[in-house]
A and B are shown apart, each in its own frame.
Chain A
Amino acid sequence: MLRVETTQAPVEFSPELVKQFDDIVSRYPAGKQKSALLPILHLVQAEFGWLSSAAMDKVAEYLKLQDIEVYEVATFYSMYFMRPQGKYVLEVCRTGPCCLVGAEKIMDHIEQKLGVKEGEVTADGLFSWRGVECLAACGYGPVLQIGPEYTFYENLTNSSVDQLIADLKVKSNN
């Protein structure tokens, strides 16, 4: 079940981040700053990797909302992580059209290659993976995406997945 977790690490929003928040809030009419909640949660997740209750409380404070208003939104939408993830989260589309072209085999391969089950994090903290619902790329399947910029990888094969994982390992060392 979904539950809200917290972190012992201090949560501070940098002035640059708050400036981005301000910019988002300016898109809506006065008093409708709650509209900024989803985009701001994306920014916070990009910064910290997931949404701890401490981080969500700070968002609530910034937007002048009740804490629960942030929790109920964060737990409703599938893109927000309620617990720590690997540095790179491989999200593979598992819906019908991608399965017609082999998405299930790709997920099996990723599980075997990373040695962790869906939702778990590798020992080095680098990777986790999960199946997600339709990513609207059905003509290019199987596909996976990696946040926070949601870079897209199409027409996956076992070897292209191996290459991607190897590339990400190199990237994380630089």
Chain B
Amino acid sequence: MARKLLLEHINVPGINTFDVYRSKGGYASVEKALKTMSPDAVVEEVKKSGLRGRGGAGFPTGMKWSFLAKPEGVARYLVCNADESEPGTFKDRYLMTYIPHLLIEGMIVSSFALGAKVSYIYVRGEMMPQIRILEKAIAEAKAKGFLGKNILGSGYDLELYVQPGGGAYICGEETALLESLEGKRGNPRIKPPFPAIAGLYGCPTVVNNVESIAAVVPIINEGGEEYAKVGIGRSTGTKLISAGGNVKNPGVYEIDLGLPVEEFLYSDEYCGGIANGKRLKAVVAGGSSVPILPANLFLKTINNEPRLMSYESLADGGFVSGTMMGSGGFIAFDEDQCIVRNTWNFTRFYHHESCGQCSPCREGTGWMEKVLHRLEHGHGRLSDMDLLVDVSKKIEGNTICPLGDAAAWPVASAIRHFRDEFEWHVTNPSEAVARNYGIAHYADPLVKPEAVA
């Protein structure tokens, strides 16, 4: 069993309280960083660790930190993105619920590294229980001298606040999150300027995911080079995977990056296989935005190599035969699931969550939703699949923020890999309403699909 870097003590009773967390070595990284390291040295360790943003984009965290502008006399901010809303992802909820001090500890060290005197944790408003948990954890840490003025006698001051969102997926996009934190509608900003130059209140700002910030704790405790020894290639460290859908043991798992997907899916240590003895039909590996893959292409790459849970291996084959790590929202579909219905459901989600700024996304997501609705309900046309691909291509890359891409990819990939199922919905409308298409050939030995432009 692999060593856990984040969740090692998750099952210790009372680990959500300061005293128990501290007795398990908690807040050691704060002592180490504030007493023995310079802020730049902390940034350097995070760079060495190779940590990549755990919110979905996978951008190197240390590099993001090093972009932060540091003009004299201007405040700098660290904002934690806890607006977890990507369908399939629930790891941040888990971390904040059960081991909130890990996030607080990471926030203190990261704020120190960036020179932030005030930091915010932006939590989606629906997670009110988690907001209460974090507020309590902050009060405990403050009472013990780990927050506030002159932390541990180091001369460093930090105030940490929790900010609730109002219920909007788009606020997980970092500039929309900053708008929301400023009390506005969550409309993403045009970049540049990037938040590192002009973020919250126009000041230099870093926005990091909950899990990225938590990962700073083991990086500082053990050193960036040690952290980088875990994982594979440029996918260093451990990753929290939220396993849901039709797996036998849904839940949050911390894995070493590079774990074979087959082991993750079928081993009893993790998902334990598909529930109710059914067969695997398809997988969405990294949250609803990433391309869906049929079982055969998910388990093995197009070159017949076993696929691994790493940024590179999941992306092997590009969008023709691969997918993405995303946020680690792992959704398994059993043989009884309908791909058309699910694609319609996801598209409805993106239509609902589009902020409406950019026409291709605002209009395109609604258009795709209507077409998918008629396909699912037996009124589709054979030309609809080409229409959907066409609309998705005209959204992709033509919007201010990545929500447009996130809405386009699931549709394009579902049609790429499951076109026969969509066509069956058109040619057998009454049957398609009554039953599902089933598993078809997806579990068969791999056939090389045609390259799609």
The answer to whether A and B come from one shared complex is: yes
Cβ of B186 under 8 Å from chain A: yes
For A69-83 the 0/1 string (1 means CB < 8 A from B) is 100110011111000
Separation of A151 and B128 alpha carbons in the complex (Å) = 8
Q: Which residue of A lies closest to B329 (CB)?
A: A138
- From known contacts A99-B345, A133-B352, infer whether A139 and B250 are also in contact, taking CB-CB under 8 Å: yes
Cβ of B373 under 8 Å from chain A: no
- By the criterion CB–CB under 8 Å, are B86 and A134 in contact? yes
Across-interface contacts of B159 in A (CB, < 8 A) = 27
For B338-360 the 0/1 string (1 means CB < 8 A from A) is 00011001100100110100000
Residues facing B in A29-64 (CB within 8 A) are 29, 32, 34-39, 41-42, 63
Which residues of chain A have a CB within 8 Å of any CB of chain B?
27, 29, 32, 34-39, 41-42, 63, 69, 72-73, 76-80, 94-97, 99-101, 132-141, 145, 147-152
- By the criterion CB–CB under 8 Å, are B166 and A80 in contact? yes
For B160-173 the 0/1 string (1 means CB < 8 A from A) is 01011111110000
13 A-B residue pairings within 8 Å (CB atoms): A27-B120, A76-B186, A77-B166, A96-B346, A96-B349, A97-B88, A100-B334, A136-B85, A138-B89, A138-B245, A139-B243, A150-B126, A150-B127
Cβ of B405 under 8 Å from chain A: no
Q: Which residue of A lies closest to B90 (CB)?
A: A136
Stretch at the interface among B40-48, B177-185, B258-266: B177-185
Distance in angstroms from A31 CB to nearest chain B CB is 9
- By the criterion CB–CB under 8 Å, are A76 and B166 in contact? yes
Residue among B169, B186, B245 with the highest chain A CB neighbour number at 10 A:
B245
Separation of A37 and B185 alpha carbons in the complex (Å) = 11
Across-interface contacts of B128 in A (CB, < 8 A) = 147-150
Separation of A140 and B251 alpha carbons in the complex (Å) = 8
Separation of A100 and B185 alpha carbons in the complex (Å) = 32
Cβ of B312 under 8 Å from chain A: no
Residue among A79, A101, A132 with the highest chain B CB neighbour number at 10 A:
A79
Separation of A2 and B180 alpha carbons in the complex (Å) = 20
- By the criterion CB–CB under 8 Å, are A73 and B184 in contact? yes
Across-interface contacts of A42 in B (CB, < 8 A) = 125, 164, 166
Across-interface contacts of B120 in A (CB, < 8 A) = 27
Across-interface contacts of A36 in B (CB, < 8 A) = 183
Task: Out of A78, A96, A152, name the residue touching B166 (CB < 8 Å).
Answer: A78
Across-interface contacts of B246 in A (CB, < 8 A) = 100-101
Residues facing A in B86-144 (CB within 8 A) are 86-90, 92-93, 118, 120, 124-129
Across-interface contacts of B326 in A (CB, < 8 A) = none
Cβ of B252 under 8 Å from chain A: yes
Distance in angstroms from A26 CB to nearest chain B CB is 9
- By the criterion CB–CB under 8 Å, are A149 and B129 in contact? yes
Q: How many residues on B have C-beta within 8 angstroms of the other chain's C-beta atoms?
A: 57
Across-interface contacts of B334 in A (CB, < 8 A) = 100
- By the criterion CB–CB under 8 Å, are A38 and B349 in contact? no
- By the criterion CB–CB under 8 Å, are B169 and A134 in contact? yes
Residue among A37, A95, A139 with the highest chain B CB neighbour number at 10 A:
A139
Separation of A79 and B85 alpha carbons in the complex (Å) = 14
Q: Which residue of B lies closest to A65 (CB)?
A: B183
Across-interface contacts of B92 in A (CB, < 8 A) = 136
Separation of A132 and B92 alpha carbons in the complex (Å) = 19
Across-interface contacts of B165 in A (CB, < 8 A) = 38, 77
- By the criterion CB–CB under 8 Å, are B337 and A139 in contact? no
- By the criterion CB–CB under 8 Å, are A32 and B182 in contact? yes
Q: Which residue of A lies closest to B249 (CB)?
A: A139
Cβ of B201 under 8 Å from chain A: yes
Does more than half of chain A's interface fall in helix, strand or loop, or is it mixed?
Answer: mixed
- From known contacts A96-B288, A150-B127, infer whether A77 and B250 are also in contact, taking CB-CB under 8 Å: no
Cβ of B29 under 8 Å from chain A: no
Q: Which residue of A lies closest to B186 (CB)?
A: A76
Separation of A135 and B231 alpha carbons in the complex (Å) = 30
Separation of A100 and B163 alpha carbons in the complex (Å) = 32
Across-interface contacts of B84 in A (CB, < 8 A) = 136
Residue among A35, A99, A134 with the highest chain B CB neighbour number at 10 A:
A134
Cβ of B413 under 8 Å from chain A: no
Across-interface contacts of A35 in B (CB, < 8 A) = 163, 181-183
Separation of A147 and B349 alpha carbons in the complex (Å) = 21
Q: What are the nearest 3 A-B pairs in CB distance? A: A77-B166, A79-B167, A138-B244
Separation of A73 and B183 alpha carbons in the complex (Å) = 8
- From known contacts A38-B183, A138-B331, A150-B127, infer whether A100 and B87 are also in contact, taking CB-CB under 8 Å: no
- By the criterion CB–CB under 8 Å, are B85 and A78 in contact? no
Across-interface contacts of B129 in A (CB, < 8 A) = 149-152
Across-interface contacts of A140 in B (CB, < 8 A) = 90, 250
Separation of A134 and B353 alpha carbons in the complex (Å) = 10
Task: Out of B75, B181, B184, B252, name the residue touching A139 (CB < 8 Å).
Answer: B252
Across-interface contacts of B166 in A (CB, < 8 A) = 38, 41-42, 73, 76-80
Known: A42-B166, A100-B331, A150-B125. 9 other contacts (CB 8 A): A35-B181, A38-B163, A78-B166, A96-B349, A99-B342, A100-B245, A134-B88, A134-B288, A136-B85
Cβ of B81 under 8 Å from chain A: no
Across-interface contacts of A138 in B (CB, < 8 A) = 87-90, 242, 244-245, 250, 329, 331
Separation of A163 and B352 alpha carbons in the complex (Å) = 31
- By the criterion CB–CB under 8 Å, are B337 and A100 in contact? yes
Q: Which residue of B lies closest to A41 (CB)?
A: B166
